[in-house]
Structure 1
Amino acid sequence: MNYKIEKNTVQETLIIPLYARKMCTELYPNLYRDETAVRLFGEIDYDFSALEKKSRSLMQRFGFLEVAMRQNDLAFEVRDYLRAHPNAAVVNLGCGLDATGRSCDNGSCKLYNLDFPDVIRVRDELLPAGPREENIPCDLNDTAWFDRIDASGGAIFFAAGVFYYFLREQVRALVQRMAAAFPGGVLVFDAANEKAVRLMLKTWIRDAKIKDVGAYFAVADAKAELGPWDSRLQISSRGYMLGYHDLKDPSVSGFFRFLARVGDRSMNMQIVRIGFGGEI
């Protein structure tokens, strides 16, 4: 029996990123693999026809490539942290139906997936927590969830496509509280400048039929803009299309590589890495 997701519900917002990860796996198999997304696609009862029609457009296919690169970059940062902290907490903020934590599992880390209760209900059905894994229903801005994270072996937090929908003050408050609660931990997330985020809100939010999102969080120069938030923060960033990978693969056209350069340079599409000073 497939899991039914109705149109115009909060749960429907999980479909677009899931479909994008499935399409990335099919279009760019040398660059990205998400077998969980492919499997879930077959287990969900939902009318994908509108998404399938759109998926043929050139810009939509570039959008899928953006998703693939973002997930790869975040996974790179998680694995990099785990090399030095094998027993760390790996925390997916605003997880949806994403299985990046599992794909980085080294056999000894602890996995946490956080999202709104409506989303976690779906996740519990489709991706029930495995060993050393916990699905936590919460509002990320209510930091009571801190108590659920065992960071005794360190902690790496990552957020894909999440902070754009936060007020700048909310991101700052959350980062400051995390720096105090998780010394020696790291937060990684994707960001872009104001021009790019405005464009994204016009397209993504319209496609996802999300209403009432007027606020957004944009970053052009991560170190200059976020550094003053707290003296404990160690901030760096890399372009998220080409900062981790040169995209020289037969599945990626020269035109897409050109668009990737434009994204990283003109739109400041980046992965921001914030280290929280102090010892674990």
Structure 2
Amino acid sequence: MREKIDFTGVEQTMLATLYLRAWESRSKDSILRDHVAAGVVDRIDYDFGKLMLRGGAGNRFMLALRSKQLDDWTADFLRRHPDSVVLHLGCGLDSRAFRLGLPVGVRWFDVDLPDVIDLRRKLYPELDGYRTIGSSVTETRWLDEIPTEYPVLVIAEGLLMYLTENENKRLLQQLTDRFSGGELLFDGFAPWVVRLTQRMSKRLARKGYPSYWTAIRDRREIERWNPRFRYLEDVPFASLYAKIPVRVYRVTYRLMNMIPASRDFYRMFRFGF
């Protein structure tokens, strides 16, 4: 039986990203190979076509490159910390825990709004060491369910830009207050992109998309928000152009990578704490 859903706003973005991951993964030269996402799309009764803004075909590669980079960093952390906790904040319908496979000893928590988690529980199987928590990440009570005696990896993919700067600061403070150490993985846009989405807010709203609220001005931004964090590395998504199997998009992203403004407009970040 297919699940009929009707999300709007921030929650709707998870449907777009799920669809793009599934679309990209159906290619024989897939970057992400997220076949779990492709199977989940087939189980949802929804008109995914209405989510696609102009440029959607190329966006599937941007999303795949982002997810693959965060997957690689996640796998690296789990290799170094086989007994650890993973917090995937604002997880949406992402299948990262399933496409990576959980090592024995890892405790993985997918956190998102209650109605999102209700849908996840219908679409994804239960795994040993895997749990879902239905809560806004800006609340604090859900953290009481997380063990604190292990290294923690916090994944905030497609999340921080939708929160205000003060909300981000409070969230990061709560994490460093509770956990003794770990890493934070996230993605972020340059200020001009955030300003552009706010100017385009009415057009985006007609498609059901929200604007962004928080920009990452430079690679040290998080350290200024919270001195416990230390910058490890960042990767502009366009710098990964060589992985794109379709020549026209590979060339386009290569050209973007040659221009600082277009190379640095969107990056993936890795911080320790």
- The reply to whether TM is greater than 0.5 is yes
Alignment of 1:104-183 (within 5 A): 104=100, 105-183=102-180
Alignment of 1:1-280 (within 5 A): 1-6=1-6, 8=8, 12-27=12-27, 29-51=29-51, 54=52, 59-104=55-100, 105-200=102-197, 202=200, 205-206=204-205, 208-210=207-209, 213=211, 216-223=213-220, 225-242=221-238, 245=240, 247-252=242-247, 253-262=250-259, 265-276=262-273
Change (3 A) 1:238 1:265: farther
Distance 1:270 1:218 in 2: 11
Letter in 2 for 1:25: S
Letter in 2 for 1:251: V
Structure 1: unaligned runs, 5 residues or longer: none
Distance 1:236 1:197 in 2: 24
Change (3 A) 1:241 1:86: same
Structure 2: unaligned runs, 5 residues or longer: none
CA contact (8 A) 2:113 2:135 kept: yes
TM-score by length of 1: 0.85
TM-score by length of 2: 0.87
Letter in 1 for 2:140: T
Letter in 2 for 1:80: D
Letter in 1 for 2:24: C
Distance 2:195 2:268 in 1: 18
Deviations along 1:126-173, one digit per CA (max 9) or x if unpaired, are 124321111101111112222212242311010111111111111112
CA contact (8 A) 1:70 1:240 kept: no
Change (3 A) 1:207 1:190: farther
How many residue pairs get matched? 268
Partner of 1:222, secondary structure, is coil
Tell me the CA shift for residue 262 of structure 1. 4.7
Letter in 2 for 1:174: L
Tell me the CA shift for residue 271 of structure 1. 1.4
Question: Which has the larger displacement, 231-240 or 261-270?
Answer: 261-270
CA contact (8 A) 2:236 2:268 kept: yes
Change (3 A) 1:246 1:151: farther
Deviations along 1:211-262, one digit per CA (max 9) or x if unpaired, are 5x5x601012121x3222333211234223155x452554343123223555
Distance 2:245 2:14 in 1: 30
Distance 1:263 1:130 in 2: 43
Change (3 A) 1:261 1:32: farther
CA contact (8 A) 1:242 1:261 kept: no
Distance 1:28 1:160 in 2: 25
Distance 1:263 1:117 in 2: 40
User: What CA RMSD, in Å, does the superposition of the two structures yield over aligned residues?
Assistant: 2.6
CA contact (8 A) 1:116 1:138 kept: yes
Deviations along 1:178-213, one digit per CA (max 9) or x if unpaired, are 1121122111100011112334564894475045x5
CA contact (8 A) 1:222 1:236 kept: no
Distance 1:173 1:4 in 2: 35
